[in-house]
Amino acid sequence: MDNEEEEEMSYKCQRYQNNNNFSENNHEKVLKYLKSLQNSFKVSNFKLTEEVALVKLYSSISTLSTLANGFPFQWVNHLATLEFFEFLSSFLVLPKRKVLFNRILNRETKNLNTLRDEKLINDQIGIVLAFDGWKNILN
């Protein structure tokens, strides 16, 4: 090996070490940020396992962004999305489309049923509309 090859090899090794240090520092920053968000999400406490905390945070953020932007749930299964999240963090596991959809649908159905029941129980006027079915009035 000549000097140029040795310098290039040492440069690559140094660059690799700097990249690893960056990811470790970035990892620490993410954990610190998650702990600071603890009160915002009204979660009693984050678990000590970093992966569990990040997966739960990702799940809630992805759900909110999906609904807010009107995206179909298929974007979670797209190859570009999977590669992007692999780039962000290798230990994030993206939920599948059906899991994400079922989780949202079940939770929101329960929330709406609870809200409906509370409003009906606390109705001061006492008027309730009840329908036993529907009829097509055009035919």
- Token pair for 56: 């739960």
Whether residue 17 is contained in a domain is answered as no
More confident residue, 109 or 63: 109
> Is 103 inside a domain boundary?
yes
Asked, for residue 96, whether it belongs to a domain, the answer is yes
pLDDT tens for each residue of 13-41:
566 555 555 455 666 776 676 666 655 55
Contacts of 65 (CB under 8 A, 6+ apart): 71
Q: How many domains does the chain have?
A: 1
What residues make up the domain containing 97?
A: 54-130
Tell me, yes or no, if the pTM score tops 0.75: no
Mean of the per-residue pLDDT values of the chain: 69
Q: Which residue has the tokens 């329908």?
A: 131
DSSP secondary structure string for all residues of 10-49: HHHHHHHHHHHHHHHHHHHHHHHHHHHTTTTTT-S---S-
Q: Convert the pLDDT of each residue in 96-128 to its tens digit.
A: 777 777 877 788 788 888 988 888 788 777 766
